[in-house]
A and B are shown apart, each in its own frame.
Chain A
Amino acid sequence: MHDPDRHLVERAKAGDRGAFGKLATRHYELVYAVAFGVLGNREDALDVAQEALMKAFLEIQKFQGESKFRTWLYRISVNAAIDASRRKRPTEPIEERIDLRAHEPSPREEAHRREIRGLVRNALDLLSPEHRTILVLREWHELSYDEIAETLQIEVGTVMSRLFYARKKLAEALGANVKGEVP
């Protein structure tokens, strides 16, 4: 099994903090995306992402290369996110800080984006953390069913049926937006 992170992992295990820093740089967004997909709240997701990476750093000696490093990191991230979701506060509306350096979207574009975010967020809130996890790993990270099964340590069939259920619930919640009735 070819693991592109193998050399950095070996160095990190030997005590090279900088090597783990490179791993963290490489995978930060991946970890954040898992956390945000499950939690739906930026502050919580940022906290959990850092928590997951610190945990990975502190437990790097436990990683024996039985899977790819990325898979192991996914697992830590998922567990951290699901634990946090069980103790988290209710979802807050997504607050936007206006970054004047960035391209200013037109009011229409911004309104449309907010609408999608709101719709998807509300729909995701209807799912359990486990179902949100499957959705983010499949639809965002584009992991295969086998990779998801390995990450979550469940059967491939369970992955497929949870995904089917999650998509069905989203479709029901998103309603007209999915059926293409909304222009």
Chain B
Amino acid sequence: MKRGRIFLGWLLIGVLLFPSYGGSQAPALTLKVAVILASNEGSDFDLENDAYRDQLIRLFSYTAYEQVRGYSVVLEEGEQELIAIPGDYELILTLQRLEGEKVFLHALIQKGGNKFLDTELSLLGPTPVFLGGPPLDSGNLVLAIEKLY
């Protein structure tokens, strides 16, 4: 009896210490998406992420950059997330699969059912990829998508 109780006690401790899994957990990923309005009106330079600043200057010849939206998107394999962005555009991100550190992503920018940009890409390191640029009256949108660790 005493041994039985000791055994049950250790079993209980074991159960509490080691959570059980109902099934296998799907790997998940966090992506950072920054929506930036690039224009030639004035010379505002208003970004939350300083690292984008130098990259944008080297990549484009606009005079003003303003971050208008910022999102943190958590996706599991096979999952999709829709993000509404200015100008009635939508960004749809689908995490196709994860292979270790490598991320296979499908990104679709559309408006009114029309495909503005449809791309499949893989991200390995922390370097952002810049997609663009949906035109607005005041400039073009630049979307910076980055894998977060």
Query: Residues of A at under 8 Å CB distance from B?
Result: 145, 155-158, 160-161, 163-164
Contact = CB atoms under 8 A, between A and B. Distances in A.
Nearest to B46: A164
Given A164-B43, A164-B46, 16 more contacts: A145-B57, A156-B54, A156-B57, A157-B53, A157-B56, A157-B57, A160-B43, A160-B45, A160-B53, A160-B57, A161-B45, A161-B47, A161-B50, A161-B53, A163-B43, A163-B45
Interface of A: prevailing SS: helix
Contacts of A158: 53
A155 B43 contact: no
B81 interface: no
B113 to A, nearest CB: 38
Interface of B: 43-47, 50, 53-54, 56-57
Contact of A157 (B43, B44, B46, B50): B50
A101 B23 CA distance: 93
Contacts of A155: 54
A65 B54 CA distance: 27
Contacts of B56: 157
6 contacts: A156-B54, A157-B57, A158-B53, A160-B57, A164-B44, A164-B45
Contacts of B44: 164
Contacts of B57: 145, 156-157, 160
B146 to A, nearest CB: 17
A160 B53 CA distance: 9
Contacts of B54: 155-157
A158 B45 CA distance: 10
Nearest to A165: B45
A160 B63 CA distance: 9
A164 B54 CA distance: 14
Contacts of A157: 45, 50, 53-54, 56-57
Nearest to A146: B57
Nearest 8 Cβ contacts at the A-B interface: A157-B54, A157-B53, A164-B45, A160-B45, A161-B45, A156-B57, A155-B54, A157-B57
Contacts of B47: 161
A161 B57 CA distance: 11
A156 B61 CA distance: 13
Contacts of A161: 45, 47, 50, 53
A182 B130 CA distance: 43
A1 to B, nearest CB: 21
A158 B44 CA distance: 13
Nearest to B44: A164
A168 to B, nearest CB: 9
Nearest to A155: B54
A156 B57 CA distance: 8
A172 to B, nearest CB: 14
